[in-house]
């Protein structure tokens, strides 16, 4: 066995590894499970005890020299690879251009809506997305048996705690906290237990607003919303108001505009009517003002609320609301220059 070890040492001194292929052959020959070193260690087990001390030292020297030879060759080829790669790179060439990022279309439209109402004197108010029954329903004049309180429409967390179904809860908090005159909008995400489709989702984004002061009338509401629609969609858009019902406003109305996708000819977004409802509105019910501690003999006000997804669909000719939530880069890249 001593002769084998001395022979290996002599071979190592004369061995030169000139290629990656030779390096791999060297590894297989000496360092693999079926290699020479592994066989020698198996043979070492049969050596008499009185010889193991000297042979063991010699085996460790051989093993160390084999590993050093392998590591040196490996490092040499790594350096050669790096040098070859640098030789192929022309550092005088201009760098690759980076793609411009883009805002999500919902953020673009939300910022546009906020900007329009800022010009009209509205400030921004925010509130929690998890609300209690008082702020989400009771203060807004919802009867105890109103369908919106049912599990089919609302995501309840506890008996009287739920994910907010509208940002009207922020209006209540604002009216309780500050005295009139008040003029503010409330952007945010809301949640409703609805089936996901091309026109609906279980969560979406709203912007609601209130204006409370002395002698506020429905005419003030209409002129405010006319100004918003003209700024958002242009002077050619047609507008109509329809009577409606909301627990927290009286009288109440829904505002429709001519469909911006089919230009009034009829499509799936407008249900082939040529009109699309974009918001609900009305004068704030006196009971709501009383619930929030506001003097109804002195003050009146209006409120409105719109879905940002609906406005965005009309603005950018998007026919399926689900497109906003699938993170398709092909869709999002279309807004990189906006």
Shared domain check, 214 and 289: yes
* Interval 86-116: pLDDT, tens: 556 677 778 777 777 788 999 999 999 999 9
Domain that holds residue 318: 105-335
Give the Å distances, CA to CA, from 151 to 95, 129, 147, 189. 57, 17, 9, 19
* Interval 233-275: pLDDT, tens: 988 889 999 999 998 999 999 999 988 777 777 777 777 788 8
Residue 137 covered by a domain:
yes
Residue 315 covered by a domain:
yes
Of the segments 143-147, 157-161, 191-195, 208-212, which one has the largest average pLDDT value? 208-212
Phi, psi of 15 (to 5 degrees): -80, 135
For the chain, the distance separating the N- and C-terminal CA atoms, rounded to the nearest angstrom, is: 79
Shared domain check, 313 and 233: yes
Q: How many distinct structural domains can be found in the chain?
A: 2
State both tokens at 331.
């869709």
* Interval 202-238: pLDDT, tens: 888 999 999 999 999 999 999 999 999 999 998 888 9
Report the candidate in 333, 248, 335, 311 with the shortest Cα–Cα distance to residue 116.
311
Shared domain check, 202 and 113: yes
Pairing of strands 239-246, 161-163: unpaired
Q: Please list, in sequence order, all residues whose beta carbon lies within 8 angstroms of the beta carbon of residue 192, skipping any fewer than 6 positions away.
A: 153, 154, 155, 165, 202, 203, 204
Angle 202-205-210 (CA atoms, 0-180°, nearest 5)?
A: 130
Shared domain check, 61 and 190: no
CB 274 within 8 A of CB 240: no
Shared domain check, 292 and 174: yes
Q: What is the pTM of this model?
A: 0.67
């Amino acid at each position: 066995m001593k002769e084998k070890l001395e022979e290996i040492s002599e071979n190592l001194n004369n061995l030169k590894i000139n290629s990656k292929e030779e390096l791999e052959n060297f590894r297989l020959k000496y360092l693999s499970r079926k290699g020479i070193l592994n066989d020698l260690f198996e043979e070492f087990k049969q050596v008499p005890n009185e010889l193991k001390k000297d042979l063991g030292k010699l085996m460790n020297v051989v093993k160390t020299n084999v590993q050093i030879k392998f590591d040196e060759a490996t490092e040499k080829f790594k350096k050669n690879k790096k040098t070859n790669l640098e030789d192929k790179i022309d550092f005088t060439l201009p760098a690759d251009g980076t793609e411009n990022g883009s805002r999500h279309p919902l953020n673009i439209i939300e910022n546009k809506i906020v900007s329009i109402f800022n010009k009209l004197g509205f400030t921004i108010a925010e509130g929690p997305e998890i609300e209690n029954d008082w702020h989400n329903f009771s203060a807004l004049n919802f009867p105890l048996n109103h369908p919106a309180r049912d599990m089919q429409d609302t995501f309840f967390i506890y008996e009287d705690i739920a994910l907010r179904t509208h940002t009207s809860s922020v209006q209540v908090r604002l009216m309780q906290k500050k005295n009139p005159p008040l003029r503010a909008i409330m952007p945010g995400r809301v949640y409703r237990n609805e089936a996901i489709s091309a026109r609906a989702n279980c969560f979406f984004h709203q912007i609601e607003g209130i204006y409370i002061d002395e002698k506020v009338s429905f005419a003030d509401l209409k002129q405010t919303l006319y100004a918003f629609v003209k700024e958002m969609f242009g002077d050619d858009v047609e507008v109509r108001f329809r009577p409606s019902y909301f627990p927290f406003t009286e009288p109440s109305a829904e505002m429709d505009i001519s469909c911006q996708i089919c230009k009034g000819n009829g499509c799936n977004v407008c249900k082939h009517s040529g009109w699309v409802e974009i918001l609900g509105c009305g004068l704030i019910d006196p009971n709501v003002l009383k619930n929030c501690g506001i003097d109804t003999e002195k003050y009146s006000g209006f409120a409105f609320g719109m879905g940002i997804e609906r406005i965005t669909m009309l603005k950018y000719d998007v026919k399926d609301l689900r497109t906003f939530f699938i993170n398709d880069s092909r869709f999002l890249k279309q807004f990189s220059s906006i």
